[in-house]
Amino acid sequence: MDDYFEIEGLAGKKLLSGEVEISGAKNAVLPLLAAGVLFDGKVSLENAPIINDTRRMLELLSALGAKTEFDEFAGVASVNCASLDSHSLDVEISKRLRASIILSGPILGRYGEVEFPHPGGCVIGERPIDIFVECFSKMGARAEERDGIYRLECSEGLKGTEVFMRIQSVTATETLMMAAALAKGETNLKNCAMEPEVAALAGFLRQSGVEIEGAGTPTIKVKGRAGRLLSPRGRAKIIPDRIEAGSFIILGALCADELVVKNCVPAHLEAVTSLLAAAGVPLDIGQDFIRLSGNGRTANSVFKNFNVRTHEYPGFPTDLQAPMAVFLTQASGEGLIFETIFEGRLGYTEDLIKMGAGIKIWDAHRASVKGPTPLNGRLLEGPDIRAGLALVIAALAAEGRSQITNVRYLDRGYERIDEKLRSLGALIERKTLTRSKDSALIF
Ligand code: EPU
């Protein structure tokens, strides 16, 4: 049994209004929790998003022998790895969470060995882990893979060295930063990802005593502590989720008259807001908020189209590619979507086409979107976390009723998303799906 959302569309009218508070970032809380393995005591994280991925990461840590707590009322997640008793990641949980791979760095750094399965998570492309394995090998680890389980070992401890990552990878950069923190000698990481979540992890490590510099640039230097664990120094606060914030702004552009997206970092969203502003979306950008005002006076067809090319930060985030495609269905003219990071991230366009969108798919990476076209509500299958929210936005912009299945993906990444949408006036209900004996869905 799974939940689904039933949504009554606004038929292109901009009737939503209000304020929405952005939660802590999923992709920031996961590496900071994994960093708990580097410590000899309890690490507490404030503004932790109350989502299933946070819970899964805590379960993974708990299965390793850590003491974990999640005060969901206060939004504080804590992990104490003083008495870890395993270096093997739980296979079932790891297969559901790509971010499980991040734990490999701190565990290998601390114990000189780690075992884990190929990590799972959203099916948005091949998602190999070759860069992790190559870079660990450069730092002195021996790697083998048998029956889908990777085993890395370096009984004499990881050695700091120069490591060039062939591809800028967010989780590989985070994982290697943590491995380097416990290595012997200095590690020079090159071609690093520059995402705000990488910089947030580096900030946390620095605040905790690691000599680390350069995060947010392509080169990060880490002075290794030769196995010496860190001691907690106060609480860290998780940065706001730029993907949730960006999604609400796109939703607002299509469906809201007045909307304030609060508790966000607009500087993390320039690639998104600059496109929307050039398209004619009336945005007012503050220090920690983005306001949309008088948007009801702008007919959707007035919005101009643009091309979207996903790119590593500070370029346009792949995680907002699907919501932006929905925006383009309501802008005038033709815009090209070019997904450069993942090769399986345009699948949701089939659903948009069924709703009436003028989309042509050229190949696994490119689609063009011609607008504006009215969308019609229908049964939609949420394919992954980010495209799932894009379909919610499409359903709200559409005429008629939609059902969106696989809400479990949305629950992995967005805190109380249906409640937040309802507070803006959206007609969205969470319902439970049952199946008949022949597996047909019963709504
Ligand atoms: N890649 C390799 N080999 C590797 C690692 C990555 O070829 O060993 C490739 C990937 O296949 C991809 C590219 O490198 O083509 C970049 O992927 P990256 O490794 O940066 O992605 P990730 O670290 O697995 C994180 C986010 C994703 C987000 C991407 C890109 C986390 C937990 N996940 O994934 O977020 O899309 O960076 O920004 O931080 C999501 O939140 O829904 C999500 C998918």
Model's pTM, two decimal places? 0.97
Q: Is the CB of 32 under 6 A from ligand 1?
A: no
For 126, other C-beta atoms within 10 Å of its C-beta total 8
| Per-residue pLDDT reduced to its tens digit, 373-412 | 999 999 999 889 999 999 999 999 999 999 999 999 999 9
pLDDT at 48 over 80: yes
pLDDT at 121 over 80: no
For 128, other C-beta atoms within 10 Å of its C-beta total 11
Q: Say what the pLDDT of residue 291 is.
A: 98
**Of all protein residues, whose CA lies closest to atom 39 belonging to ligand 1?**
27
> In angstroms, rounded to a whole number, what is the distance separating the alpha carbons of residues 414 and 23?
8
Of 122, 135, 154, 192, catalytic = 122
Q: Say what the pLDDT of residue 297 is.
A: 81
Section 197-201 average pLDDT: 98
Per-residue confidence at 242, pLDDT binned at 50, 70, 90? very high
Query: What is the fold, at CATH topology level, of the domain defined by 2-23+240-442?
Result: UDP-n-acetylglucosamine1-carboxyvinyl-transferase; Chain (3.65.10)
255 catalytically annotated: no
Q: Say what the pLDDT of residue 440 is.
A: 67
Task: Tell which one of 23, 26, 27, 385 to mutate to probe ligand 1, the residue whose CB is within 8 A of the most ligand atoms.
Answer: 27
Q: Is the CB of 128 under 6 A from ligand 1?
A: yes
CATH class of 26-224: alpha beta
pLDDT at 347 over 70: yes
Mean pLDDT is lowest, of 33-37, 147-151, 163-167, 211-215, for 147-151
pLDDT at 13 over 90: yes
| Per-residue pLDDT reduced to its tens digit, 124-159 | 666 789 999 999 999 999 999 998 899 999 999 999
Per-residue confidence at 441, pLDDT binned at 50, 70, 90? low
**Of all protein residues, whose CA lies closest to atom 10 belonging to ligand 1?**
127
| Per-residue pLDDT reduced to its tens digit, 270-323 | 999 999 999 999 999 999 999 999 998 876 668 999 999 999 999 999 999 999
Q: Is the CB of 56 under 6 A from ligand 1?
A: no
**Of all protein residues, whose CA lies closest to atom 18 belonging to ligand 1?**
169
Section 211-237 average pLDDT: 96
Per-residue confidence at 215, pLDDT binned at 50, 70, 90? very high
Q: Say what the pLDDT of residue 299 is.
A: 67
Question: How much distance in Å is there from the Cα of 348 to the middle of ligand 1?
Answer: 19
Average model confidence (pLDDT) across the chain: 95
Question: What tokens were used for 277?
Answer: 């502003």
Give the angle subtended at the CA of 275 by the CAs of 270 and 279, to the nearest 5°: 145
Q: Say what the pLDDT of residue 95 is.
A: 87
Amino acid (one-letter) located at 256? A
Question: How much distance in Å is there from the Cα of 358 to the middle of ligand 1?
Answer: 29
Question: How much distance in Å is there from the Cα of 370 to the middle of ligand 1?
Answer: 29
Question: How much distance in Å is there from the Cα of 127 to the middle of ligand 1?
Answer: 7
Per-residue confidence at 168, pLDDT binned at 50, 70, 90? very high
Question: How much distance in Å is there from the Cα of 171 to the middle of ligand 1?
Answer: 6
pLDDT at 435 over 80: no
**Best CA proximity match to 249, nearest among 219, 281, 271, 217:** 281
**Of all protein residues, whose CA lies closest to atom 16 belonging to ligand 1?**
169
Section 57-82 average pLDDT: 97
Q: Decide if 97 contacts 121 (C-beta within 8 A).
A: yes
pLDDT at 1 over 70: no
Q: Which residue has the higher pLDDT, 381 or 434?
A: 381
Per-residue confidence at 123, pLDDT binned at 50, 70, 90? low
Q: Is the CB of 43 under 6 A from ligand 1?
A: no
Q: Say what the pLDDT of residue 148 is.
A: 86
> Which residue ranges does the chain devote to CATH 3.65.10.10?
2-23+240-442, 26-224
**Best CA proximity match to 200, nearest among 234, 237, 231, 175:** 237
Report the nearest atom of ligand 1 relative to the CA of 343: 15
pLDDT at 239 over 70: yes
Beta-carbon contacts of 73 under 8 Å, excluding residues fewer than 6 positions away, are none
